[in-house]
């Protein structure tokens, strides 16, 4: 299990870096999908198969497909790639790298003081996830559901037809 | 060590038999379509055309493997592999019989299947995008929208079964159907799962990503030779996949009297494969907006109602 | 919804499994071709064994794919074609030449098996086209009813042919 964890964790770090640095948006998205898949591997090796499956189905399988859909609709070409490359050079790296350094220090501190736990403590299955969702984390679930409801209304509002669409007027 | 070797042996045998079955289905489909259209179908090569697959394989392997100059080369090559690999990976969790299966006892079996089918869409979408031609792109976009829409209620249609058996483990689901197949209590779930499955496998009548009369060949317009062949085999393998998962979830898997379990399983999935081909022979393709409104406005509410009713019944009836 | 109609369609399509197939297994099993089938073109002779073709060029003029080419004989009083050529790689077997022919010389026959390995072999010359029979019209001889004078027959001597009217005569 340790090997699975190490491989998928290393993969996820690597693919995330690649996802940030690619200039072609579709390539970046694909590396992000790979990063999510390796994150699923990390979850699986830590004893949370349900979370791993949801990571694959929802993030990699649905949300990233929507991202890809939008990117495909934009029809980006070589010029946009060039513009992207010009954005990704020089001082623009400064702030993200600094923030990443802060995160890395914090992460190192946590690792030093708690020590690595390679073996999964116990496997968390779907039933336990569901039970804790509706007991311990009920307020959070309710808040998230309200947020999703608001998003639903917003989508309905954006998607409604304001003017009657002219039908059967013949092809132009 | 020996156990690992046996496991590897079973995996390889299963993979080979699935790919062979998928290739053979190309012949079965043409023959059956022929009969349903009062024709004979291919019947020249071998006894009643049974060697047609071999002839087709030889032909497709020896065709020029042409990568057009305008495509994104890496992703163009990667896309058919994604389709085939994800479909074949999904077979890993299917228990064919109590003994035969690669990871039948995986405790997230149903979710693994859903995850793999949802990753299949990448192959199709990326093929459409990497081809860099407008027909392929439209096919890929249609595939993306269609697969996401139908995945949603595919998962919801399964929840009824999962609630009744109390597990995501496919072996436990099959064992829970020893006395009563889930198609009886979960009839609406079965119908919705089947419709979603057809859309997931992008088979007729839901093959809008291909849409050969308006998009050329849709997402695989620019593909030739074995790269096209991989899409083709992937499509037939996904028919086998959807048929097997339907049998496992709703028709009692290997359960059946007298005869050995593998026979019952094979009989049931071949009936479903025949049904898939019958659908192709009989039904016309819906318009794209019809497909979308059908999925979101009819099937999604129905599947949510199905989940709610099933849950209410399970809670109200003491076990 | 079209649920009922879809199910009905499925059922009736399924029943076709038990219908007799319409396919004729061609090389072993020949299809029935009617006598008026429009296949390979021939040139026929009249009952006396003379060529029927009078080089009127109507067939070449009416041919929509321009596949007929002929030339009247240069000998005075001889109306047979010097060459008669049909390019069957262009012929669409529409039968307009047969309809246009005043002497029933050109006729279409129920034979379609004329594949060749070289395109040039599909160009049929007069010796390939001309048969020694009368074809579909057994008793017809153009000169016997046409009212023109030919060798061995003056005007008005043929079957069902009135003697020529003296246009300069005064009597009614």
Q: Where are the domains of chain B?
A: 65-316
Return the minimum-mean-pLDDT range out of A22-31, A131-140, C77-86.
Answer: A22-31
Return the minimum-mean-pLDDT range out of A59-68, B59-68, C163-172.
Answer: C163-172
Quick check: helix, strand or coil at residue C49? coil
Widest CA span in chain B: 66
Q: What does CATH list as the number for A1-76?
A: 1.20.120.1200
CATH number of the domain that C62 lies in? 3.30.70.3270
The helix (run of H) or strand (run of E) holding residue C165 is: none
- Cβ atoms A80, A68 nearer than 8 A: no
Mean pLDDT of B10-23: 86
Contact between chains at C16 and B39 (C-beta distance less than 8 A): no
State how many domains chain C has: 1
- Cβ atoms C114, C90 nearer than 8 A: no
Return the minimum-mean-pLDDT range out of A53-67, A82-96, B3-17, B140-154.
Answer: A82-96
Spell out the domain ranges in chain A.
1-76, 130-159
Contact between chains at B38 and C10 (C-beta distance less than 8 A): no
Neighbours of B306 (CB within 10 A): 21
Neighbours of A86 (CB within 10 A): 11
Is the predicted pLDDT of residue C10 greater than 80, yes or no?
yes
At residue A165 the predicted structure's pLDDT band, cuts being 50, 70 and 90, is low
At residue C129 the predicted structure's pLDDT band, cuts being 50, 70 and 90, is very high
Tens of pLDDT, residue by residue over B89-104, are 888 888 887 777 776 6
Give the CA count within 13 Å in the CB-facing half-sphere of B206: 26
Tens of pLDDT, residue by residue over B189-211, are 899 999 999 988 888 888 888 87
Domain span including residue C61: 36-145
At residue C85 the predicted structure's pLDDT band, cuts being 50, 70 and 90, is very high
Secondary structure (DSSP) of B116-185? HHHHHHHHHHHHHHHTTSHHHHHHHHHHHHHHHHHHHHHHHHHHHHHHHHT-S-HHHHHHTTSSS-TTTT
> What span, in angstroms and rounded, lies between the C-alpha atoms of B110 and B95?
11
Burial (CB count <10 Å: 0-12, 13-18, 19+), residue B189: buried
Secondary structure (DSSP) of C86-115? EETTT-----HHHHH-TTS-EEE-S-----
Is the predicted pLDDT of residue B168 greater than 90, yes or no?
no
Which one, of B307, B192, B263, lies nearest residue B253 by Cα? B263
For the CA atoms of A73, A79, A81, A86, the dihedral, rounded to the nearest 10 degrees, stands at -140
pLDDT score at C120: 92
Contact between chains at B125 and A123 (C-beta distance less than 8 A): no
pTM, rounded to two decimals? 0.82
Average pLDDT, rounded, for chain B: 86
Is the predicted pLDDT of residue B170 greater than 60, yes or no?
yes
Of A27, A61, A72, the CB nearest to B137: A72
Which one, of B57, B112, B55, B53, lies nearest residue B86 by Cα? B112
Tens of pLDDT, residue by residue over B107-147, are 788 888 888 888 888 888 888 888 888 888 888 888 888 88
Percent of chain A with pLDDT strictly greater than 90:
10
Is the predicted pLDDT of residue C63 greater than 60, yes or no?
yes
Residues 256..285 of B with a Cβ closer than 8 Å to C: which?
Answer: 278-279, 281-283
Tens of pLDDT, residue by residue over A119-161, are 556 777 778 888 888 888 999 999 999 999 999 999 888 888 7
Report if residue C164 sits inside a domain: no
Q: How far is C-alpha C55 from the chain's CA centre?
A: 15
Report if residue C74 sits inside a domain: yes
pLDDT score at C95: 92
Q: Which residue is closest to B37 within chain C, CA to CA?
A: C16
Mean pLDDT of C122-135: 91
β C41-43/C81-87 pair status: unpaired
Which one, of C106, C100, C108, C94, lies nearest residue C45 by Cα? C106
């Amino acid at each position: 299990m340790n090997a699975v964890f190490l491989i998928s964790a290393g993969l996820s770090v690597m693919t995330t870096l690649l996802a940030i640095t690619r200039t072609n948006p579709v390539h970046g998205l694909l590396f992000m999908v790979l990063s999510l898949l390796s994150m699923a591997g990390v979850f699986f090796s830590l004893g949370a198969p349900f979370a791993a499956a949801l990571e694959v189905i929802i993030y990699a399988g649905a949300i990233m497909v929507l991202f890809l859909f939008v990117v495909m609709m934009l029809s980006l070409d070589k010029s946009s790639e060039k513009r992207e490359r010009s954005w990704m050079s020089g001082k623009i790296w400064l702030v993200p790298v600094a923030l990443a350094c802060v995160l890395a220090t914090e992460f190192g501190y946590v690792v030093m003081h708690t020590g690595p736990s390679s073996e999964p403590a116990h496997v968390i299955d779907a039933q336990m996830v569901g039970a804790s969702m509706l007991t311990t984390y009920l307020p959070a679930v309710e808040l998230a559901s309200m947020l999703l409801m608001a998003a639903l209304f917003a989508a309905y509002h954006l998607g409604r037809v304001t003017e009657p669409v002219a039908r059967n007027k013949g092809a132009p | 060590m020996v156990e690992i070797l046996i496991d590897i042996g079973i995996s390889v045998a299963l993979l080979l038999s699935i790919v062979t079955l998928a290739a053979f289905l190309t012949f079965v489909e043409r023959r059956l379509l022929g009969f349903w259209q009062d024709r004979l179908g291919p019947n020249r090569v071998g006894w009643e055309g049974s060697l047609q697959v071999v002839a087709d394989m030889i032909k497709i392997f020896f065709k020029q493997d042409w990568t057009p100059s305008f495509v994104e080369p890496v992703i163009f090559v990667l896309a058919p592999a994604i389709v085939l690999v994800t479909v074949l990976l999904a077979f890993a969790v299917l228990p064919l019989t109590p003994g035969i299966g690669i990871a039948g006892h995986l405790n997230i079996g149903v979710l693994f299947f859903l995850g793999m089918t949802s990753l299949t869409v990448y192959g199709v979408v990326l093929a459409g995008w990497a081809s860099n031609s407008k027909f392929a792109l439209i096919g890929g976009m249609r595939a993306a929208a269609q697969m996401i829409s139908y995945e949603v209620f595919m998962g919801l249609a399964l929840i009824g079964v999962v609630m009744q058996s109390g597990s995501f483990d496919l072996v436990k689901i099959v064992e829970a159907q020893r006395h009563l197949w889930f198609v009886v209590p979960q009839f609406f779930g079965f119908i919705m799962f089947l419709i979603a499955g057809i859309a997931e496998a992008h088979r007729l009548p839901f093959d809008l990503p291909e849409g050969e009369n308006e998009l050329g060949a849709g997402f695989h317009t620019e593909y030739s030779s074995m790269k096209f062949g991989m899409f083709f085999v992937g499509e037939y393998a996904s028919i086998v996949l959807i048929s097997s998962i339907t049998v496992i979830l709703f028709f009692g898997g290997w359960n059946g009297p007298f005869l050995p379990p593998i026979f019952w399983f094979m009989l049931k999935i071949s009936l479903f494969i025949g049904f898939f081909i019958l659908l192709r022979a009989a039904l016309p393709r819906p318009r794209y907006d019809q497909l979308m409104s059908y999925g979101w406005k009819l099937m999604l509410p129905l599947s949510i109602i199905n989940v709610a009713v099933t849950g209410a019944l399970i809670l109200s009836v003491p076990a | 919804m079209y649920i009922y109609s879809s199910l009905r369609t499925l059922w009736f399509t399924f029943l076709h499994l038990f219908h007799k197939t319409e396919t004729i297994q061609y090389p072993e099993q020949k299809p029935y071709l009617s006598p008026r089938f429009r296949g390979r073109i021939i040139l026929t002779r009249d009952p006396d064994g003379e060529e029927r073709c009078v080089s009127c060029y109507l067939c070449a003029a009416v041919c929509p794919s321009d596949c007929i080419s002929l030339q009247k004989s240069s000998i005075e009083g001889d109306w047979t074609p010097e060459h008669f050529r049909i390019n069957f790689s262009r012929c669409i077997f529409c039968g307009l030449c047969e309809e246009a022919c005043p002497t029933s010389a050109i006729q279409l026959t129920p034979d379609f098996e004329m594949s060749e390995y070289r395109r040039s072999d599909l160009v049929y010359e007069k010796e390939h086209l001309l048969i020694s029979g009368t074809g579909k019209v057994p008793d017809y001889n153009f000169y016997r009813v046409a009212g023109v004078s030919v060798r061995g027959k003056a005007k008005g001597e043929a079957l069902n042919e009135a003697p020529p009217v003296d246009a300069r005569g005064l009597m009614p």
